[in-house]
Chains A and B, each alone.
Chain A
Amino acid sequence: MNYDPPTPAERVVARKRWIRCLVFLLVILAAAYYLIFINQYVVAYKDNVDHFKYGSIGSEPANGFPILVFKALPVMFRDELGPTGYRRFGMLYETEQSELPVGMSRRIITGVERVWLNCAICHVGTYRISLNDRPTYLYGAPANNLRLFDLLKFFLMVSRDPRFTADNLIDTINSPAVGGHLNVIDRLIYRYIVFPRVQTALQHLAQQVSFISRQADWGPGRVDTFNPYKAIQFNFPMDAAHITDAELNGSSDFPSIWQQRPRDGMHLHWDGNNTSVDERNLSAALGAGVTPVTVDIAAIHRIRRWIWTLAAPAFPVPSAIDQSKVERGRQLFATYCAGCHGMKNAAGQYDYDTNRYPRLGQIESLDAIGTDRDRWASYTQNFSAAQNTLYAGYPWRFTHFSKTGGYANQPLDGIWARSPYLHNGSVPTLRDLLEPSACNAGSACRPAKWYRGGDILDTAKVGYRSDGYGYDVKDLFLYDTSVAGNSNRGHEGKAYGTELPSADKDAIVEYMKTL
C-alpha cells in the first residue's frame, strides 16, 4: 500500500510537469540533432585570399575525407608516397606545420571534420627566380606543380590495397605521426561507419574512373577536364566501345582565373564552350568535388567577386626586361597577335575591347588554329547537353554550354605566369612558341621532349625552365609531344609570327613580359 499518495491536485501538477519535461527534452534533442547532424560548420576567413586558399566551397559533404583519414593515408602508405606525403603530388604546404595544403578546406558534417578540395587546389601556382629562392605563391595562376593524375591514381591504389583496413587505419590515426586520439566511441565509429564509407567511396570512384588506365598521364599542371566529369556526374559509359582514344586524351593546362569581369561574354574554357563566368565557375567547382546540392553558393560567390577584379601579376624581374626591344615588340605584337588576344593600351592597362580586337574571345576553327584536336574531341555534344541539366532547380542552372568548332582566343594578361603554353601545355616558353613545331636540321623548333613540373622561371624565354635545371630529373615529368593529346603543333605559320627573324621574335617576347 502506498502510504504517501499524491492528492488529486498534486497528480495533475505532476502530470503537467512530466509533459513540460518531455517537451523540453524533445526540444533539446531536436536542437542537438539539428546542430550536430544537419548544420555544417566551416571556418570563416576574413581575408579574400585566405578564403580562396582554405575556404570551403561545399565539396566535403559529398566527396570529402574525414581529416584524420586524409592525414593517415600518407603515413599508412609511406612506402609509396615517401616522407613528404601529399607534397609529392605538388600540393603546397605553406609551412612545415601546416595541417592542410593550399586548396584544401575543412567542414564539419554530422560531427565529423572532413576535408576536400576548393578552387585554389588548381589555381595557385608558384615560381622561383633562382635556385635558392623560396617559392613565391601566385594566387589565381595555374597550379603548375599539381599532379592530379597521380593523386587520383593514389586514391585508386588505396581502394585496392589490402593494407587499407579498419585496424590499420585506426592504429595509424592513433599513432604520433597523425596524433588523433580516438576514444573508444570514436574507434567504433571509425571502424563501423567511417572506414566502410571511405572504402566504398574509393572503390566506387575507382570503378567510375577505371578508364584512366587507358589514358596518357596528365602530368603536372594539367587535367583531363571532362572525362572524369562524364563518369562521375553523369555515369556515362567510359569503355572503349563508347569513348575513343582521342576523346580520352584531351588533358589540358589549368588556366589562370584573374580578371574575370572583362572575360564574361567571351568564349570560356579552352574550346570556348561557355560564355558565362558564373557557369564556368560552378562547373569547375564540380571538378573540385562540389555537387549541385552541396555547393556553398555564398562561398563561390565570394570567390567570384574576388576574381572578378583580381589583378594579373606583373613580371617579377623588371630588370630582366630589355626595354630597348619592348617598343619593337609592341608593334609586332599589335600586328601579329593583338587581333586575337588584345594588348595593353597606351595607359598601360590591358585592353579587352572586343570591338577593337574582334577575334578576342572568339573561337578559331580547328583547322585554322591547327592545335591538338583531342581536347576539342573530349568535349562532346552529348556531354554538353547533359551539362545543361546541372543545377536544375536552382537559379544558377546551366544553360550556356555548347559544343564549338575549335578553340577560343584568350586575353594574355599576366601571360608570363601561365606557362606552359597552348591549351595542352605542349610548349614550355613564349620564345619556343614563336618557333615552328617541326624540327628541321639547323633551324630552331619547339622542343619535342622536355621536363615540366618545376617552378624555376626562365626570365629570358618566359616560362618555367624545361631543361631540368635545379632538379633531379627523376622528380620531373618528361613531357613527350608524341603521346596522344600532347602534340605541340598549331598556332604556327606566317600569321602567328613563327617565320619572323629571330630578333623580332625576341622583341615580341620582351614586349609580352610587360603584359
Chain B
Amino acid sequence: MPQAADATFLHEDNAALIFSPLKFRHLEVKNRLFRSNLSGMFDEYNGYGGNTRLNWEEKFAKGGVGCIISSYTPVAVRGRILVRYAMIDNDDKIPFWREIGKRVHQHDCRFIMQLSHSGRQQDMGGIENLFKVAQSSTNQTDFFHGILARAMTVSEIHEVVEQFAQGARRARAAGLDGVELHGANGYLITQFLSSGINDRTDDYGGPVENRARFALEIVRAIRREVGPDFHLQMKINGVDHNNWLYPWKKKGNTLEDTLIICKMLLDDGKGVDSFHISSGSTFPHPRNPPGEISARALTRWYGGMLASGVRTRFNYAIFKNPIGGPLFQWLWRTRRGKIIEGINAEYARYLRSAISKIDPSIKFLCTGGFQHASNIAGVIRNGSCDAVSMARPLIANNDLPQILRTANGPVKQKECTYCNKCLVNDLANPLGCYEVSRYDGDTFEEKWDNLVKSVMSVYQPTLFR
C-alpha cells in the first residue's frame, strides 16, 4: 500500500468514505476508524479496573474513533498475559466494565471487549500463576521466551470454553456493544488453530477442521450465553509466519487454512458477525505491530520477564550485546519486509472476497500500521476491508480521527514512526508514546520532559480532587 497520497482521489473523498457509518449485523459504528486492542498496566493486580483505565479509554473516545476494541481481557486468571490488566473472570468485574461503557458511549463511541486467554504466551503470569505451568494445546515450550506449557486435557478444554462463554455473558451484562475473540497473535486460540503450534493427535489437533474445533466450540458456547443478536467478532491471523525467529520452526497456517477456519466460524450464519484480520503467531511479531524494535528499550525493560521462561536470559543477553542487539533489530526489520502501513490488507482482501460471496453481511476489519487517510480509504475502496483498526498511531495522536477529517495524516514530525517503543515500555512503564523525536523541544531534556508530560497525562483527572 502506498504511503503517499493517492492522487486519483481527493482528501475530501477519502474523508467522506472514512467517516461514513458501518453497519454490522448487530452493531452500528459511526465511522470506519476502530481503536485496536491497546492498554497499559493501568489496573489493579487482581484484575479490577480503575480510574486510570477509565481515563485511558475515554481519551480515544474523545479523539473521535467510531469504536474501541478493548485490550486483551483475560477470561480467567490462569489466562492472564501481563499483570495489572483488568479481567472479566468473575461477575464482580461487571460494575467496572459498565462504567467503561458509560464513559465511552458519552462520545458516541462503541466498545467491544476482547475475550482473551494467554495459553502459553503468558509474559508475566503473576503470583497466582507462579507455580503453575501454562495451559496450551501443546507441551512444547514457546520458542521466543521459553515459557513452559502443558497440553490441555479435553475436560480442561471444555472448562476454558465455558470461561469464554461466561466472559461474553458478563460483557453483555455490563452493557458493552459486543465481544471479540482473541484468536490471533499467538494466544490460546491461535495455539489451537495454528499448524505451527498445535501438535495434538486427538479431535482438537491434526487437520484444520480439528484445529478449529476449540474456536468453534467457544463461538457456540458464547451464542448459547448471549444469544444471536449480540455482536461477536473473531480476530484471526491471515497468515501465521511462525518461523520468523528460527527458520527451522514450522511456518504455521496459510491463507487457505485461515479461509477454511473463517468459513467454519460462520457456523451457517449462527456464528461470528465479523472478522478482524491480523498476522503473526507470536506477540510481538515483526509483522505485528509492524515496525522497528529497540534493543536498547528491550535491554532496559525486558528484565521483568526474566522469571517467566527458560529462554529469557538468552534473549536478554542478545538484546544487550553490542553485536547481538543490532543483529536482532536487523532480523526484525528483515522479517517484517518493506511494507508497514497496510501490511495485512492483501490477506483481508482474499478472505473478504471469499466470505462475502457466502454471506455479504459479514464485515471485515483490518489492522497493521494504518495512519493516513489515503491508505485507509484505499483499502476500503478496493474491498480489502470495511474498516481499519489502529493502535500506535492513536497513541501518538489521540485525536487522529479529527486530523484525518481535514488532512491526510499528522504533520511529519508528529506522525507515529512505528518504532514500537510504546510496546516495549509497556512491560514496565505507563503506556504512551516514547518516541522522543515526536515531541517539541530544542534539547533532548526538553523533549523528554514533554514526553513525560504526555505519558503521565493518562493519570489525569485524578480520582480524588
State which of A1, A4, A17 has its C-beta within 8 Å of the C-beta of B296. A4
Q: A348 in the interface, Cβ–Cβ < 8 Å?
A: no
Task: Tell me which residues across on chain B come within 8 A of A6, comparing CB atoms.
Answer: 296
A24 to chain B, nearest CB (A): 13
Interface of chain B, helix or strand or loop or mixed? helix
Taking the complex as formed, is B9 at the interface, i.e. its CB lies under 8 A from any CB of chain A? no
Most A Cβ at <10 Å: residue of B294, B322, B443: B322
Q: Is the CB of B436 within 8 A of A3?
A: yes
Q: Is A2 an interface residue (CB 8 A)?
A: yes
Contact B322–A17 (Cβ < 8 Å): yes
Q: Which of A4, A7, A10, A17 contacts B436 (CB 8 A)?
A: A4
- Measured CB to CB, the nearest residue on chain B to A6 is B296
Closest to A2 in B: B444
The residue from A5, A7, A10, A17 contacting B444, defined by CB atoms under 8 A apart: A5
Cβ of A3: which chain B residues have Cβ within 8 Å of it? 435-437, 444, 447
Report B429-465 CB contacts with A as 1/0, cut-off 8 Å.
0000001110000011001000000000000000000
Q: Which A residues are CB-close (under 8 A) to B437?
A: 3
Chain A residue total in the interface (Cβ 8 A): 9
Most chain B CB within 10 A, of A2, A3, A7, A10, is at A3
A1 near B322: Cβ-Cβ < 8 Å: no
Contact partners of A7 in chain B: CB under 8 A: 300
Please report which residues of chain B, range 302-357, place their CB below 8 angstroms from some CB of chain A when the two chains form the complex.
322
In chain B, positions 17-73 with a C-beta closer than 8 Å to chain A are none
Residues of B within 8 A of A5 (CB): 444
1/0 per residue, CB under 8 A from B, across A23-39: the answer is 00000000000000000
Report B422 CB to chain A, min CB distance, Å. 15
State how many angstroms separate the Cβ of B439 from the closest Cβ of chain A. 10
Q: Tell me the minimal C-beta distance from B442 to chain A in angstroms.
A: 9
Beta-carbon nearest neighbor of B441 in chain A: A1
Q: Hey, which chain A residues are within 8 Å of B296, CB to CB?
A: 4, 6, 10
Q: How far is the CA of A7 from the CA of B448 in the complex (A)?
A: 12
Question: Which residues on A sit within 8 Å (CB–CB) of B322?
Answer: 17
In the assembly, what is the distance between CA of A362 and CA of B464, in Å? Answer: 119
State which residues 485-513 of A face B: CB under 8 Å. Answer: none
Interface residue ranges of A1-53 to B (CB < 8 Å): 1-7, 10, 17
Q: Which residues of B have CB within 8 Å of A10?
A: 296
Q: What is the bound-complex CA distance between A10 and B298, given in angstroms?
A: 13
| Distance, CA A193 to CA B408, complexed state (A) | 70
Q: Which residue of B lies closest to A13 (CB)?
A: B320
Residues of chain B contacted by A17 (CB below 8 angstroms)? 322
Give, as a whole number of angstroms, the nearest-CB distance from B316 to chain A. 13
In the bound assembly, the distance between CA atoms of A278 and B377 in angstroms comes to 100
Considering the chains assembled together, what is the distance between the CA atoms of A6 and B322 in angstroms?
A: 13
Instruction: Note all chain A residues with C-beta closer than 8 A to B447.
Output: 3
Closest to B443 in A: A1
A7 to B299, CA, bound (A): 12
CA distance A3 to B444 in the complex (A): 7
Which residues of A lie under 8 Å from residue B436 when comparing CB positions?
A: 3-4
Q: B311 to nearest A CB, angstroms?
A: 23
B236-278 CB contacts (< 8 Å) to partner A: none
For residue A1, which residue of chain B has the nearest CB? B444
Report the separation of the CA atoms of residues A1 and B435 in the bound assembly, to the nearest whole angstrom.
Answer: 13
Give the chain A neighbours of B300 by CB distance below 8 A: 7
| Bound form: Cα–Cα A322–B46 in Å | 116
Q: How far is the CB of A63 from chain B (nearest CB, A)?
A: 47
Give Cα A2 to B435, complex, Å. Answer: 12
Across the two chains, which residue of chain A brings its CB closest to B442? A1
A4 surroundings in chain B (CB, below 8 A): 294, 296, 436
Residues of A within 8 A of B444 (CB): 1-3, 5
Instruction: Please name all residues of chain B whose beta carbon is closer than 8 Å to the beta carbon of A2 when the two chains form the complex.
Output: 444
The distance in angstroms between the C-alpha atoms of A356 and B454, with both chains bound, is 113
How far does the alpha carbon of A5 sit from the alpha carbon of B447 in the complex, in Å? Answer: 12
Binary per-residue interface labels of chain B (279-296) against chain A in the complex, 1 for a CB within 8 Å, 0 otherwise:
000000000000000101
Bound form: Cα–Cα A2–B437 in Å? 9
Q: State the CA gap A10–B295 with chains docked (Å).
A: 13
Q: Which residue of chain B lies nearest to A3 when distances are taken between CB atoms in the complex? A: B436
| Chain B contacts with A in 399-422, Cβ cutoff 8 A | none
Scan A100-118; emit 1 where CB is below 8 A from any B CB, else 0: 0000000000000000000
Bound-state CA distance A3–B435 (Å) is 8
Cα distance A17–B444 when bound, in Å? 25
- Give the residue name and chain of the B residue nearest to A4 (CB): B296
Which of A1, A2, A7 counts the most chain B CB atoms within 10 A? A1
Residues from chain A with Cβ under 8 Å of B443 in the complex: 1
Tell me the complex Cα distance, A5–B443, Å. 12
Complex: how many Å from CA A3 to CA B438?
A: 10
- B441 → chain A, closest Cβ, in Å? 9
- For residues 403 through 427 of chain A, which have their beta carbon under 8 Å from a beta carbon of chain B? none
Q: How far is the CB of A213 from chain B (nearest CB, A)?
A: 66
Residues from chain B with Cβ under 8 Å of A1 in the complex = 443-444
Closest to B320 in A: A13
| Docked complex Cα distance between A5 and B448 (Å) | 11
CB distance from A282 to the nearest CB of B (A): 54
Q: How far is the CA of A413 from the CA of B437 in the complex (A)?
A: 97
Distance A257 CA – B436 CA, assembled complex (angstroms): 87
B434 to chain A, nearest CB (A): 10
A1–B444 Cα distance when bound, in Å, is: 7
Q: How far is the CA of A2 from the CA of B443 in the complex (A)?
A: 9
B349 CB to closest chain A CB (Å) equals: 36
Question: Residue of A at shortest CB range from B299?
Answer: A10
C-alpha gap A10/B447 in the complex (Å): 20
CB-nearest residue of chain A relative to B437?
A: A3
Q: What is the CA–CA distance of A2 and B300 in the complex, to the nearest angstrom?
A: 18
With a 10 A CB-CB cut-off, give which of A2, A4, A5, A10 has the most chain B CB atoms: A4
In the bound assembly, the distance between CA atoms of A279 and B328 in angstroms comes to 68
CA A4 – CA B444 in complex, angstroms? 9
Measured CB to CB, the closest approach of chain B to A368, in angstroms, equals 84
Closest to A17 in B: B322
Q: For residue B435, which residues in chain A have a CB less than 8 angstroms away from its CB? A: 3
- Looking at the assembled complex, report how far the CB atom of A422 sits from the nearest CB atom of chain B, in whole angstroms: 76
| Bound complex: CA A501 to CA B441 (Å) | 125
The smallest C-beta distance from B344 to any residue of chain A, in angstroms, reads 29
In Å, the complex CA distance between A1 and B300 comes to 21
A122 to B134, CA, bound (A): 81
Nearest Cβ in chain B — how far from A25, in angstroms?
14
- How far is B40's CA from A394's CA once the two chains are assembled, in angstroms? 79
A4 to B447, alpha carbons, bound, how many Å?
11
Task: Please report the C-alpha to C-alpha distance between residue A399 and residue B437 in the assembled complex, in whole angstroms.
Answer: 84
A172 to B322, CA, bound (A): 48
In the complex, which residue of chain B has the Cβ closest to the Cβ of A5? B444
Complex Cα distance, B322 from A5, in Å, reads 15
How far, in angstroms, from A17 to B322 measured CA to CA in the complex?
Answer: 9
**Alpha-carbon distance A10/B294, docked complex (angstroms):** 15
Q: Which 6 A-B pairs have the closest CB atoms?
A: A3-B436, A3-B437, A1-B444, A4-B296, A5-B444, A2-B444
Interface contacts beyond A3-B447, A7-B300, A10-B296: sample of 13 additional A-B pairs, CB < 8 Å, sorted by A:
A1-B443, A1-B444, A2-B444, A3-B435, A3-B436, A3-B437, A3-B444, A4-B294, A4-B296, A4-B436, A5-B444, A6-B296, A17-B322
Q: List 16 A-B contacts (CB under 8 A).
A: A1-B443, A1-B444, A2-B444, A3-B435, A3-B436, A3-B437, A3-B444, A3-B447, A4-B294, A4-B296, A4-B436, A5-B444, A6-B296, A7-B300, A10-B296, A17-B322
